[in-house]
Chains A and B, each alone.
Chain A
Amino acid sequence: MPLLEKKNNKTLPWLKYGIGSVVVMILAYNSVYFRELDEVKAEASGKFDAAAFAKTFLEKQLSPKLAIAPDIDDLTTLLSTDKNKAFDAYSHATAIGNIRYFLVKGQGVITQINENDLTIQTPKQQLTLAMEFIYGNALRDASGEFDITKFTKTADINNVSSELNKLIRASVVFPFRPKAKVGDTVQFAGAIALNKEHLNLTEIEVVPASLK
């Protein structure tokens, strides 16, 4: 009997180490892969150019949609009377959640020039036009033309927003801002973000894509 115990004690560790080694090998095989460094670098050099994509997107997809965007006063009137209809007809978003984006256009008089934005008065309401911080996904998502499924990397999707915002800041906001004066009439087109669940129509900020 002691002999048998001894034999078992010797066999068991081998079995244990054997199974352990197989598991480690399977894990290692499925954990790493090897490639030539030159090949990987060549692929990386042809990576997604978010800035070029954003420029084409603005010119070919966003601008045509801005031309047919609803007037902001008409949109807010519809939002106050039939919220669901307005959201269904005019809003877009690439992510789930209550925040949805609208393309809008309109005309108003500049009533105040603030550090980060302009306050304008349209025929029906007071709005702000973003001037300093152009951020978020409003411009990218509001058109409904941005197809998220064409992207494999989340970073690329985020970079499109970032580059689009940079482009607008450089080509739309910077040339306009120094010339803006209180009392001037401004024609704008851009995007707004609204929370469907907690709708607030008193503090609407327009992210401009075009200013005249």
Chain B
Amino acid sequence: MQTTLEDQKKRLSKLQPLIALFVLCLIIGLLSDKFFTVSNFWNVLRQISVNICLSVGMTLVVLMAGIDLSVGSVLALCGAITAGLFKMGIELPSQNLYIGFTLLGASLAGVLTGALLGFFNGFVITRFKVPSFVATLAMLTVARGLTMLWTKGFPISGLGEQFAYMGTGWFLGVPVPVWISAAVVALAVFLSDNTKLGRYIYAIGGNENASLLSGININKVKIIVYTIAGALAAVGGLMVTSRLDSAQPNAGTGYELDSIAAVVIGGTSLSGGKGSIWGTVLGAIIIGVLNNGLVLLNVSPFWQQVVKGFVILLAVIIDKANSKNG
């Protein structure tokens, strides 16, 4: 009987984000007649697509008991590099050569840049034993500075309709960013639930020493995960740049906090080893719905930040309480 009660408690704690989302939707729906409309539904999904990409990468990092504070800056740099290469290419005056980039080429270069920055994060964390908080905080500044250098502080705009399709287009009645984020989620779920790498990520987060003793190449796994997080931040950067038809030097500021919030609200433990991609997706939807609801209800942007902060705090407190009980 006791076991059944325990099981029910565990199941209920797993359902908490879903219940929170349901209650949130209900409250906003009652207060605003614009909330339950088809256009607003797609609007919310389109808005959370970028955060989902960042949060999926962040989940993998947090599952290993790490953190990546650089995702917002990496997003900006990769978006700027993609936009810059696509619009201006590379000029080699000494060779009288112009290297132009197609949309595919510029996008690949952007994602590759993100992966390289992520790889660098992982390398610094594993090789020099720098705490992930510090290493990625440093990368946050480095990437932002590189973005300013690349863009000279000015937006790179006028990228054209072909480029805009990625962020504003529709495919089979669904916005393209939603397709991209869905593909990212599907790949991440497959990676975390069905591959050796996924099991290693959970094992390292659960107990790093035990994982080391059981023969897992911890450094390799960490580098791979930070590389993936960097690449996903770059995908987010492509979507933001495409949606705005412009690479803004200050794009992505504060996005790392939204992605950490989505991860925490989704039930992934900051101490690692516990959580899921699906939970994070729910967390990102909750953050998105909350943002959307506060806008629809004409809440001041300053109050929006206060409310979001308290929601994150509440999620952590509930997570702690669940950990104690279970």
Contact = CB atoms under 8 A, between A and B. Distances in A.
Interface of A: 27, 30-40, 152-156, 158
B182 interface: no
Contacts of B109: 31
A32 B100 contact: yes
A39 B89 CA distance: 14
A36 B160 CA distance: 23
Interface of B: 89, 91-93, 95-102, 104-106, 108-109, 157-161, 164, 245
Contacts of B99: 32-34
A36 B108 CA distance: 23
B158 A154 contact: yes
Given A36-B96, A37-B96, A155-B158, A31 B91 contact: no
A34 B245 CA distance: 25
Contacts of B105: 30-32
19 contacts: A27-B104, A30-B102, A30-B105, A31-B105, A31-B109, A32-B99, A32-B101, A32-B105, A33-B102, A34-B97, A36-B97, A37-B92, A38-B96, A152-B160, A154-B158, A154-B161, A154-B164, A155-B158, A156-B158
**Which 3 A/B pairs are nearest by Cβ-Cβ distance?**
A155-B158, A31-B105, A40-B98
Contacts of B89: 40
A152 B164 CA distance: 12
Contacts of B96: 36-38
Contacts of A27: 104, 108
Given A32-B105, A33-B99, 19 more contacts: A27-B104, A30-B102, A30-B105, A31-B106, A32-B102, A33-B100, A34-B99, A34-B100, A35-B97, A35-B100, A36-B98, A37-B91, A37-B95, A40-B89, A40-B91, A153-B158, A154-B160, A158-B157, A158-B158
Contacts of B97: 34-37
B88 to A, nearest CB: 10
Contacts of A154: 157-161, 164, 245
A1 to B, nearest CB: 25
A153 B163 CA distance: 11
Contacts of B161: 154
A37 B98 contact: yes
A30 B107 CA distance: 12
A35 B245 CA distance: 25
Contacts of B100: 32-35, 40
